[in-house]
Amino acid sequence: MSQLRRTALLLIAALFVGSVSGSAQSIPGRSSQNPISGSVPSGKATPEVLSLTLSDAIDRALRQNLGVLFGDDSVLSARGESWQERSRLLPNLSARMAETAAQVDLAAQGFEKLAGHFPGGGGFPLVIGPFGYFDLRAYLSQSLFDADALHSQRAAQKNLTAERFSYQDVRELVALVVGATYIETLSASARVDTAEAQVQTAQALYDQASDLRRTGVSAGIDVLRAQVQLQTRQQQLIAARNALAKQNLVLARAIGLPLGQAFQLADTLPYEPPAASGVEDLLARALASRADFQSAQAHVDSAEEQRRAAAAEHLPALTANADYGVIGPTPGQTHGTFTAAAALRVPIFAGNKAHGDALVAQAEFDRNRQQLDDLRAQIEQDVRTATLDLQAASEQVAVARSNVDLAQQTLAQSRDRFSAGVTDNIEVVQAQEDVARANESYISSLHDFNLARMQLARATGTAEKDIRQYGRGR
């Protein structure tokens, strides 16, 4: 297995069991599984064999993959938090209707001692009521100036922007994982085809050895050797078919297809020489297109607003309050009343809470800015690494394809020599092994090349758009 292939499998494994940036969080109760490896199956399995293109697989995943669904939920949550912060700046209007009945004991409130000071002396009533009144009133509260609330709302809006970019980044990751899984399934299918061809070749060699044995041209050991080779190829075919069946399950699981649904891959990913592109141009495209980079920038902006909000906690806040309604003994005997007030709240001392909030906000801002700088360097590394891998994989494909042709020619000549009695079938068996190794090398190199193309698309932030076009060589 090539270094690129090992790196790719490690990448996919990390995506499956590691953390995903932004909105894709681990499933509660299933912390070892990453949402991108799961999905919500849609529909029921049908008897028909589904023809599945790469674009269809990505479309299904973007609708049903758990990482995408969680990302959408995170955007919805961030939108709600933005509205929560905005509500502190918007008018607060409410209404109240009350029918009240009361009786008041003035003696309990100390009025008994004052009764003699009123005209009539002891005739002052100490118990009033029962009496009742009706009150229908509307209340309005409006923040006129609150710098803390203003910057907090802006921070929530920036955080919403960051979550939207994180959601787009999850879609990019899903497109990459589905694309990588699709080509892994194509490779597994190619290995089945190769194994079947090897069984057919081994069967032909066994028949040839048996015919030559009957005519006395070859020894019995050649027949036994050919039979062992045939059974070995049959075992490899069984293993290849089983691997393909399991790989189909992995692909179906990632895109939300019922696991009992039979399907076949409609696209192929042939070799196409990569177009020449300068690293600097690719890097500029990546910085402009990568959703994770834009999300990180939005997080920095949000942290900056949070820092300003913390600094504004010691500033005065001005609010206005008003109410208007009707009140009277009965609903038919009412009179309009109102109150209006403006209040200026001036923080004097809150136990240094504003200072503590400012320190926390500053630390968060520094952390987000450092992560942004680190991500910028990581993007450059991703672009340069993907470019190198694509070039190396392209060269490996060319060499592997040449090796397949040479191994086939060697096998044909070995069979001719064996048929002519020039040599035994050890040479033929070795030549067949060389063909098998050459085919496996070609399948692996073609897999690595197409995976490198997808990794470059991911590195430049165009995975969702570009990977769809790779089917059938588009």
| pLDDT at res. 112 | 67
| pLDDT at res. 275 | 73
- 19-51 in b/e form (b: 16+ CB < 10 A) is ebebbbbbeeeeeeebbbbbbebeeeeeeeeee
Mean pLDDT of 187-192: 90
Name the residue with higher pLDDT: 43 or 466.
466
Mean pLDDT of 392-411: 89
Mean pLDDT of 58-80: 88
Name the residue with higher pLDDT: 269 or 416.
416
| pLDDT at res. 217 | 63
Query: Is 138 within the bounds of a domain?
Result: no
Residue 20 has pLDDT above 70, yes or no: no
Residue 423 has pLDDT above 80, yes or no: no
Residue 273 has pLDDT above 80, yes or no: no
Query: Is 27 within the bounds of a domain?
Result: no
Residue 323 has pLDDT above 60, yes or no: yes
What are residue 429's phi and psi, to 5 degrees? Answer: -60, -45
Domain encompassing residue 227: 3-18+56-91+154-315+376-473
Residue 300 has pLDDT above 90, yes or no: yes
Residue 3 has pLDDT above 70, yes or no: no
| Average predicted confidence (pLDDT) for the chain | 83
Mean pLDDT of 436-448: 88
Query: DSSP code of 43?
Result: S
Residue 44 has pLDDT above 60, yes or no: yes
Name the residue with higher pLDDT: 33 or 220.
220
Residue 335 has pLDDT above 80, yes or no: yes
Residue 277 has pLDDT above 80, yes or no: no
Query: For the chain, how many structural domains are there in total?
Result: 1
Contacts with 286 (C-beta within 8 Å, 6 or more apart), sequence order: 293, 379, 380, 382, 383, 459, 460, 461
β partners of residue 102? 131
Chain-centroid distance, C-alpha 162: 14
Query: Is 44 within the bounds of a domain?
Result: no
Residue 142 has pLDDT above 70, yes or no: yes
Residue 1's pLDDT band (cuts 50, 70, 90)? very low
Peptide bond into 316 cis (omega under 30): no
Query: How large is the angle between the packed helices 426-459 and 220-255, nearest 10 degrees?
Result: 20
Query: Is 428 within the bounds of a domain?
Result: yes
| pLDDT at res. 439 | 86
Mean pLDDT of 97-110: 85
Query: DSSP code of 215?
Result: T
Measured between alpha carbons, how far is 247 from 240 in angstroms, rounded to an integer?
10
Query: Is 73 within the bounds of a domain?
Result: yes
Contact predicate 40/32, CB 8 Å: no
Residue 170: CATH number of its domain: 1.20.1600.10
Residue 109 has pLDDT above 90, yes or no: no
Query: Is 119 within the bounds of a domain?
Result: no
Query: Is 367 within the bounds of a domain?
Result: no
| pLDDT at res. 114 | 61
| pLDDT at res. 18 | 40
| pLDDT at res. 244 | 93
